[in-house]
Structure 1
Amino acid sequence: MLTSTLLAAATAPLQWSPAIGLIMIVANIIAIAFGKSSIKYPSSEPALPESKFFGGFGLPALLATTAFGHILGVGIILGLHNLGRF
């Protein structure tokens, strides 16, 4: 029963395009900017090599912001796909 419900809810596959890549990049930039202003200890250990290239983030902050950016980007992309924009 669950399998038939999941198959009924499936949509057409989403093909990658440069627009989708651009949405993901913008979502990650927004997430990093949000993290830069809201993370209490952005430079906690372990440090990244040449942290000035990573906005002064430590490894935990960088992983957290990029994970949030990917979740945000996937939500935007799937939402636009559901609306028929992609």
Structure 2
Amino acid sequence: MKTNIKEYNIAFFVLESILFGVFCSLDLLLFYILFEAVLIPMFFVVGVYGSRDRKIRASYLLFLYTLISSVFMLIAILALYF
């Protein structure tokens, strides 16, 4: 990857900042929101800066599987609150 290094670094810094918020959050709702927000820069890192031809499909599958599994985490968090 010799092009778009600035955008790549920005995406990773945004990802790192959100992950820092995930690990430092004390509220379950904030944890869930930040956990979901991690998907946005990860989608771009895998989809734009991936190394193989199937990087677009891989980014969609990453987004889909993480979103589906996080629905179960949301149900568990709501069960804890109510």
Q: Normalising by structure 2, report the TM-score.
A: 0.41
**Larger gyration radius, structure 1 or structure 2:** 1
Q: TM-score, with normalisation over the residues of structure 1? A: 0.40
Determine which structure has greater relative contact order: mean sequence separation of CA pairs < 8 Å that are 6+ residues apart, divided by chain length. Answer: 1
